[in-house]
Amino acid sequence: MDEKVIADLSELPQIPEASVQAYKEHLAALVEKVNGLMSSRPDLRLLIGENPLSMMFANHKNHALFMSNVFALHQYELLEAVQNVIQSITSWPAEKRPKIMVGGLAFAGFPQLPEQLGADGYARDCSQAVQLARTWK
């Protein structure tokens, strides 16, 4: 990942501890909401292929936990790991490759970052993420 991007992200104000705690307290509900919305999509199999729903659910939980650590630690260098994961996934055959969405405060103010990472889309929050996912075929 571009060192300037990491430096710019690191200059963002630290997320207040109360906000980090609120995110963590609501994490399970957030993941459950995303899982429910995604599970009800009629085109779900187009998005996840033959992968089991449990894999999608685990990915949502892991992503939420990862972001809670980024927020709590104010360690945007952790996002370099995201780039490695995205590069790994984008090397999959096209018919098995899931769409990749990134988002949240870590990407705020850096509109070019999702594309640089290789993501298919960006959402500022859960609501926008659901809206974007509904547009993908």
**86 close to 116: Cβ distance less than 8 angstroms:** no
Write the secondary structure of the chain as one string of H (helix), E (strand) and C (coil). CCHHHHHHHHCCCCCCHHHHHHHHHCHHHHHHHHHHHHHCCCCHHHHHCCCCHHHHHHHHHHHHHHHHHHHHHCCHHHHHHHHHHHHHHHCCCHHHCCCCEEECHHHCCCCCHHHHHCCCEEECCHHHHHHHHHHCC
Q: How far is CA 42 from CA 28, 72, 75, 90, in A?
A: 24, 36, 38, 24
Query: What is the rounded average pLDDT of the residues 31-59?
Result: 88
Q: What is the pLDDT of residue 134?
A: 92
Residue 39: domain span: 3-7+16-135
**21-40, pLDDT tens digit by residue?**
999 999 999 999 999 999 99
Residue 85 has pLDDT above 90, yes or no: no
The 10s digit of each residue's pLDDT in 118-133 is: 899 998 877 888 899 9
Structural domain count, the chain: 1
pTM (2 d.p.): 0.54
Lowest-pLDDT range of 1-10, 37-46, 120-129: 1-10
- The encoded tokens of residue 103 equal 């988002």
Residue showing tokens 């104000």: 13
- The mean pLDDT of 45-56, rounded to a whole number, is 83
From CA 117, how far away is CA 137, in angstroms rounded? Answer: 21
Q: Flag whether pLDDT at 1 surpasses 70.
A: no
- Phi, psi at residue 78, to the nearest 5°? -60, -25
Query: Quick one: pLDDT at residue 106?
Result: 67
Percentage with pLDDT > 70 across the chain: 96
Rounded CA separation 9/4 (Å)? 8
Chain-wide mean pLDDT for the chain?
85
